[in-house]
């Protein structure tokens, strides 16, 4: 029986030489693989109160929308700077070469709402950390952060757990 990681394609030297890119589009394109990933991501949260699923740009939108649908809760996107209309709050974070900014509508989450954060891959944890800070600034209470892939060598899981976050992953890959 195929596991989630069996549906994920690895592309060497993308986007830079020495990087092993973990491509989840092959997982999304396969109906069995996609269903398997969504079902496994949902499993830890059955019977737990979740008010909204927050998906991180861009593949977190695909996963988060499907999970929110299955849980019958709202979906909230966190996007790169300048992509959301209306009033937003923003949070800068560090990239390998520079800085980026994530944004969230200032009325997307109400104080006390229980939030599940979803994305495809956890690497250094910078994007997730910025997103957590945005959610907490609006008073959201993060139940957990769920990812398909963890790259343990890059330390993102440890970063989020040090922040007090529960982290759930479906599979791990070595390297970058």
Q: Which residues are catalytic?
A: 59, 96
Tokens encoding 106: 């200032």
Virtual torsion, Cα 168, 103, 78, 12, nearest 10 deg = -70
d(CA 138, CA 129): 15
- The three-state secondary structure class of 18 is coil
Distance (Å, whole) CA 22 – CA 26: 10
Residue pair 125/156 in contact by the 8 Å Cβ criterion: yes
């Amino acid at each position: 029986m195929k596991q989630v990681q069996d549906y994920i394609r690895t592309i060497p030297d993308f986007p830079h030489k020495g990087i092993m890119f973990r491509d989840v589009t092959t997982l999304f394109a396969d109906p069995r693989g996609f269903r398997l990933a969504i079902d496994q991501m949902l499993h830890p949260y059955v019977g737990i109160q979740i008010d909204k699923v927050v998906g991180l740009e861009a593949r977190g939108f695909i996963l988060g929308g499907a999970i929110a649908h299955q849980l019958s809760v709202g979906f909230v996107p966190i996007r790169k700077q300048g992509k959301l209309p209306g009033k937003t709050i923003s949070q800068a974070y560090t990239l390998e070469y520079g800085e980026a900014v994530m944004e969230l509508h200032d009325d997307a989450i109400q104080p006390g709402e229980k939030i599940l954060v979803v994305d495809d891959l956890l690497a250094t944890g910078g994007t997730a950390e910025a997103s957590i800070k945005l959610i907490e600034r609006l008073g959201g209470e993060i139940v957990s952060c769920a990812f398909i892939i963890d790259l343990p060598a890059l330390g993102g899981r440890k970063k989020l757990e040090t922040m007090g976050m529960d982290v759930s992953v479906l599979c791990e890959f070595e390297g970058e």
